Each structure stands twice: as structure tokens, then as C-alpha cells.
Chains A and B, each alone.
Chain A
């Protein structure tokens, strides 16, 4: 089973700053099968990025994804107040799905 590691665990930033979140896989995965989600308290996760770099419907362009192989990045170019949340990466492979442990982006 592929294990995903996310860093940092918590990212403390101010509105307007740039956020860079990392997701590392224990073995190489297809970029087609790497996604990012945002989750706010009491809500279901929301798909942000699929295929490592494609924004889901309705996602603002301040969110971008990049990477390949074992290293992937979610970047939020300028944090808006509504962006403070937990972010998860997720991969699909060999008929199984795994999620990373999450990165919490909180207000500094």
C-alpha cells in the first residue's frame, strides 16, 4: 500500500501570504491519480485539484497543484480568510485509495 506523508503538519500564515503544502508518496504514483482536498470543520472534504494539477470545477485560480513521481505540491498563491482549513492529498493505485494525514493551515 502506498503511504502518503504531508508536511508541514501545521502551517501558520497570514491572509495574503503564499502557502506551499507538500505531499510525498512512499513509491511513485501516476500523476493522473493524485488529488487534493480542502476540509473545514464540520464539513465534508471538497475536491480542489485532480490529476496532480487540474483545478476542479469552481476552484479559484489561486489554488494550483504540481509535481510528479513521489513529490507533489499544493500552492495557494494568496491566502484568503476562507482558505484556512485542513488540506489532504490522496492517491489511487492498485484498486486502493490512500489519504495523507493532512496539513492544517491556520491564521498566524
Chain B
């Protein structure tokens, strides 16, 4: 059974760095063609893909946010970590991690974690 769960602070201040952890089970990120992405959704808005890491430790980022994002993995712990620097109130959103097996679609999602950016 595949599960993903996001964790991290619910509230961050402007200019701070956000660190989110995706803990997963039911699959291994060392399996070929396995990927984990971060996707966010601002309140009442659509979905925005942020970053992806693959089984071979290749990393891909949203063009508009790449200077602020870092994605990494700890295969032994079954975790993927996303850091986002210089947080702003417009970054207030629910942040999801999601799995892809074979690039193209996200077949399993975490329940999401709401991050509010406010002083």
C-alpha cells in the first residue's frame, strides 16, 4: 500500500526558509523510473508543480521558482525534503508531495500540509 505524508511548519514568517518533508511507504525511491514531486495549491486556486526528484537523484524545478527551491532525498529513510527560501505571503498554500512511476502523471498523493506565511 502506497502512502505519502507531508510534514513541516504550519506557519512561517516572511523571508524565512521553509523546509517540508515527505515521508512515504509502499515503494522505494531507488526503484528505476520512480519519482517524487512537490506540488502546491494556493487557497481557492489551481495546482502548481514545484520540483521533482528521481530514482537516480536527478532533480528538476519549476522555471519560475528554481532559484528558491532545493529538493533532496534520503532513500534509507524513505523521505524527500523540499526547501523554499525567502518565503512570502503569496507562498501561502497547501503543499502536496506525489509519486510518479514512469514520468507523466502523479498516481499517489499525500493529504497535503497547509503552510501560512505571515508575520
Contacts and interface: CB of A to CB of B under 8 A. Distances in A.
Interface of A: 1, 32-33, 35, 37, 43-47, 50-51, 56, 88, 90, 92, 95-102
Main secondary structure of the interface of B (DSSP, over half): loop
B103 A92 contact: yes
A88 B109 CA distance: 15
Contact of A101 (B46, B60, B96): B46
B86 interface: no
A88 B110 contact: no
B37 interface: yes
B49 A97 contact: yes
A35 B101 CA distance: 13
B46 to A, nearest CB: 5
Contact of B107 (A43, A56, A98, A102): A56
B63 interface: yes
Contacts of A95: 52, 60
A99 B106 CA distance: 12
A96 B52 CA distance: 9
A33 B109 contact: no
B104 A51 contact: yes
B105 A44 contact: no
B110 A1 contact: no
B10 interface: no
Contacts of A43: 111
B2 to A, nearest CB: 11
A47 B105 contact: yes
B63 A96 contact: yes
Contacts of A90: 47, 105-106
